[in-house]
Structure 1
C-alpha cells in the first residue's frame, strides 16, 4: 500500500466562495493533499473530484466538536473559510490547535492572541489591514533600511458578512482619524501618493498591521488611507465609529457586519468589482543609495484576491515557515511570493514594484542609524 507523503490541508467551507478559490490554487501549486469540508457530502465530493490529484472530501459541522475532530485528523493545517469562527467565539481554532494541527482562519474569531502550544495560528484581519501590513514588507525586502511609507487602498464589491466581521474587528485595533481632521492624500506632485479622482470618501487610518511593521522596519513615518466609493459604506463606517459595539457583544457585531455587507452590495450594484492599492517606501540600499520604491496592485476579482491570500498563507504554514504562536496574516505573507501568486493565479491582475533613486538633499541619506533604532514608533499625526 502506497502512502502519499505530502502534507494534508483541510479546508473548512472548502466549496464556498473563498474556500473554492484557495483550494484550486493549492491544487495548481501542488505539494500537498487537500480535504474539502462542508455540510453537503454531495457538493464536497463533486468539488474534490474537480480538483483531482487525490483530493478528498468530508462532511463536517464546525459547531460539533466530534465532527471537527474527525475532520482534522491527519491534517497538517486546517484552513477555515467557513465564516463561523467569530460566531463560535474561537472554538474552531481551539479545537484545531488542541489536535496539534496548524490553523489559518479567514475570519478573525476575536479570540486571544496569546500563544498556545507548539502550532501556528494565523488570523485574517480584513483586506485593508492585511494589505497595509504586507506591502511595506514587500517594498522593504532587500533594503538596508527604510524611513517612510505612505499608501492607500480602495475597492468596490460585495463584502460577505463573515468577511465584514474581520473588517470591523480590524477597525477596533486601528487608529482612526476623524474625517473632519483628515485632508486626505495630497495630489500627485512627484513626492506624494496619487489617489483616484472618483473617490467618494477618503479615510486616514493606521491599522495595527501597519503599526507592527512600522516598528519592525524602524520607520519614522507610516501613513495609510482607505479610498471609498460610497455612499453607503463610508456612511456606515462613520456610524460604526460612533456606536462601536464592544468586541464581546457578538450579536451586535454580527448585526453590524450584516449591515456593512448590505451597504457594500448597494454601493457596488451595476458596477464592476475591483481592488486597487498604491504605496511608496523611502529607503536606502545596501550600497548606501537612497531610493523610493513604489507598489501597484490591481485586481477585478475581489474574492480571488482573498483566496490567494488564504492559499499562500496555508502553504507557508504547512511548510513550517511560520513560527508557533498566534499571528495576523499581514505578518506572515511572503513579500515577493505573494505578488507572484496574485499575478499567476488571478487573470487580469497587476502586482508590480518599481524603484527610483532619491537624491534630494535632506532625504534618507541624512538619517542616522540611531534614528532608525527599534522602538521608534511611526508618526501618526502628520499628513502624508
Structure 2
C-alpha cells in the first residue's frame, strides 16, 4: 500500500494527526519533520521516518513521491506559503493542508492555474476548517447554498438572503505554539491586512464585510466558557465565504481568551505592531503568557456557534475538546479520508467549501474520541447531536 505522508509529524498537530489517521484505519504513514531524532523519539519503532526541510523543494518532492496523499501539518502558513502543496502537485499526489488561506490559494491557482487530476484541500484544521464546516451543517436546516468553485468572495454577490444570523465564539486555555501565537498576532490585523487573512473589528452585514463594527472587551461572560473572559472580534476570510455562500444577514465572529496573562499581552500588541516590533518577539510574548495561564490549570478548547433564522428558530453547535491541536490534527486526518474516498474533485479547494460537513463531524468521533460535538436546536439536543 502507498503511504500517507505527514509533514510536521513531530509537532503538536502532526503527532495528533498521525494518531487520528490510525484510529480511522488509514495508513501506512511516512513521517517527515526537520529533526529526525525528534521524530524517532516521538514515534519509536516507526520505520518510514525522514528528515525533510520544507524549504527545500527537491527534498519535498522526493518525500511525497509515490504517496497516496500528503497531510501538511507544518506552519506558520504566512512563512511557508504554498511549498508543500506545490511539491505534492508536481508529483501528482493529493494534498491536505491544515492551514493555508487566500494567499496560498492564489499562489497555487494563479499563473496558469492547476491542471491534472490532483485535489488539494486548504484550511483543513480547526480554525479555519471546522469553524467553516459547522455553520454549513447548521445551515442545512434551511437549505444549504451550493458553494461557488472560486476561492474568493465578492461582497454583494451572495445568493438570495436567508435572513439568518450567525454568532461564533472560539477559544480556550491551552499552551500556544509558534504558529498559533503568530495567528493571534495576525488576528489583530488592520484593514490593510483584510484581503490576506481577515480583519479585526469587522463583521458581515447585509451581503458585505463592514469595518469597525465590533469592539473587543477584556472582561465579559460568554455562554459555554467558564469564568470571565476577553473577546476579540475578527472576521476571517473563511467567515466571509460562509456568510456569502449561506446568504447570511449577519455574522459576528469572536476569539475568546480566558487567561489573564494572554489577555494582558494582547492588549499591548497593537502598539507593539505600530512600533514595528519583530513578529518573533511578539509571538514569544504570547508563548510565555500562555504558559503562565496554564500553570495549575487544565487546558481546554471550545467552539460555540449559534445560527438564528429569520423566523427566530435557533440551532447551535457546541464543541468541547482538550485542545485545538489534537482537534486540528483529527480534522486534517478526516479530510484525508474524504480525499482518499474520492469525495474531493480535482483542483484547489478550501475545506469549508468542498468537504461533506456531516460526514466529517461523524468521523471526528472516531478520529478524536475526546472531542465532543453537540447539535442543539431550540434549546433541545438534536437527534443528530452528541456525536
Question: How much has 1:137 moved relative to structure 2?
Answer: 1.2
Matches within 5 A, 1:199-218: 199-218=228-247
Q: Deviations over 1:97-136 (max 9, x none)?
A: 2222233233448844222413333334874444432221
Return the match for 2:181 from 136, 148, 164.
164
Larger-gyration structure (1/2): 1
Whether 2:98 is the aligned partner of 1:95: answer: no
Whether 2:282 is the aligned partner of 1:256: answer: yes
- Stretch moving more, 67-76 or 115-124: 115-124
Q: Provide the residue aligned with 1:174 in structure 2.
A: 198
Computed over aligned residues only, the root mean square deviation of the Cα atoms, in angstroms, reads 3.7
Q: Provide the residue aligned with 1:135 in structure 2.
A: 134
Return the match for 1:73 from 62, 65, 69.
65
Contact 2:4 2:67 survives alignment (8 Å): yes
Question: How much has 1:59 moved relative to structure 2?
Answer: 3.4
Q: Deviations over 1:165-207 (max 9, x none)?
A: 34444554333227994579998xxxxx835361331223322
Give 3-state SS (helix, strand or coil) of 2:61's partner. Answer: helix
Return the match for 1:236 from 259, 262, 265.
265
Distance 1:10 1:163 in 2: 23
Contact 1:89 1:110 survives alignment (8 Å): no
Q: Deviations over 1:188-237 (max 9, x none)?
A: xxxxx835361331223322211110110111121222221132323333
Question: How much has 1:274 moved relative to structure 2?
Answer: 0.3
Give 3-state SS (helix, strand or coil) of 1:175's partner. Answer: strand
Aligned CA distance change for structure 1 residues 237 and 110 (closer, same or farther; 3 Å): farther
Give 3-state SS (helix, strand or coil) of 2:30's partner. Answer: strand
Distance 2:330 2:125 in 1: 14
Question: How much has 1:9 moved relative to structure 2?
Answer: 1.8
Return the match for 2:169 from 120, 130, 152.
152
Aligned CA distance change for structure 1 residues 168 and 323 (closer, same or farther; 3 Å): farther
Distance 2:170 2:238 in 1: 14
Distance 2:77 2:376 in 1: 38
Q: Provide the residue aligned with 2:148 in structure 1.
A: none
Provide structure 1 residue ranges, at least 5 long, that are not aligned to the other structure.
188-192, 359-384
Give 3-state SS (helix, strand or coil) of 1:202's partner. Answer: strand
Whether 2:374 is the aligned partner of 1:352: answer: yes
Give 3-state SS (helix, strand or coil) of 1:321's partner. Answer: coil
Question: How much has 1:14 moved relative to structure 2?
Answer: 2.0
Give 3-state SS (helix, strand or coil) of 2:239's partner. Answer: helix
Q: Provide the residue aligned with 1:27 in structure 2.
A: 22
Q: How many residues align?
A: 338
Q: Deviations over 1:293-321 (max 9, x none)?
A: 12111112332112112211222234343
Distance 2:215 2:42 in 1: 50
| TM-score (normalizing by structure 2) | 0.73
Aligned CA distance change for structure 1 residues 331 and 257 (closer, same or farther; 3 Å): farther
Distance 1:271 1:265 in 2: 10
Aligned CA distance change for structure 1 residues 186 and 165 (closer, same or farther; 3 Å): closer
